[in-house]
Amino acid sequence: LDATGGVQLDIEKTRNMMLFFASKCKDLFKVKLMKLLWYSDALHFQRHNISMSGLVYQHMPMGALPIANFDLMNLVEVETLIDDYNEAVSYRILPCSDFSEDVFTEEELQTLYAVVNKFKDYNGRKIAQYIHKEVAYTKTKECDLIPFSLAKLIRPIETV
């Protein structure tokens, strides 16, 4: 339960969380999206003792990353960008018209808005640097699961 935040994985809710962030953040890329998901789950757990999505997160070099994150990308429309010069691939999440607020409680929507208001202007690198200072990150090692008991200790995020 400490790995999932006390809920079973909810694919429909996870998909709509991703679509919510794609609709609220200009040029949303995968690295930033994965951190927004973690902050949403962590903040909701901090406030209500339960996560939103049921995703399990690992400590990775760029911050918290859901297990099976590549599979998650199949839930939304993604544009793959290839930088031949740097031999890098990035994934931009495209906003989609079938986002549904109905899958969320009022408390969950408040959590999503608090997270997007805090981080909407951060890029992937900046949000990764921010997460590197969280207790949940500093108290775990690379590839460790990040327990929600530590995620509960995130720094304050303003309420909407």
pLDDT along the chain (160 residues), means of 10: 94 96 93 96 97 97 93 92 82 85 96 96 93 96 97 80
Buried b (16+ CB within 10 A) or exposed e, 81-95: eeeeeeeeeebebeb
Buried b (16+ CB within 10 A) or exposed e, 116-138: bebbeebebeebbebbeebebbe
Question: 60 - beta bridge partners?
Answer: 63
Provide the pLDDT for residue 22. 95
Provide the pLDDT for residue 160. 42
